[in-house]
Homo-oligomer: A and B are copies of this chain.
């Protein structure tokens, strides 16, 4: 039977922390964009490496604390079910050298894409929600992959 269930805060956090690739949506100078990105989670923030002068870097460096949406999901095409988690909040650049060094030691975002990604964009979420489709399964237990460290 089709059903849709809200995920509780703990499951949302667990699924977000385990992820490797998410999608960040923001309003660039030329309209809305969605970019898949590698990321990591530290405390209550999503951290992404990007290139200087990328559209995302410009948003983060604008100093206006623009709000962005960050999403991760897991889709099961065979059973037509899945889960998704959405985090929303303001972005800025993590420019403090000590904080960047600490992030590198603890949980660096590792990019699959090439290029010198020297800008660390931080999104401190103010809202974290999630949902799953289908019954009889647990997205936290039944994950195909997860970040281990």
Contact = CB atoms under 8 A, between A and B. Distances in A.
A77 interface: yes
Contacts of A20: 77
Total copies of this chain within the assembly: 2
B112 A36 contact: no
* Interface residues on chain A, size class: 35 or more
A91 B20 CA distance: 31
Main secondary structure of the interface of A (DSSP, over half): strand
Interface in A75-125: 75, 77, 80-82, 84, 86, 88, 112-115
A2 B117 CA distance: 13
A73 B36 contact: yes
B113 A4 contact: yes
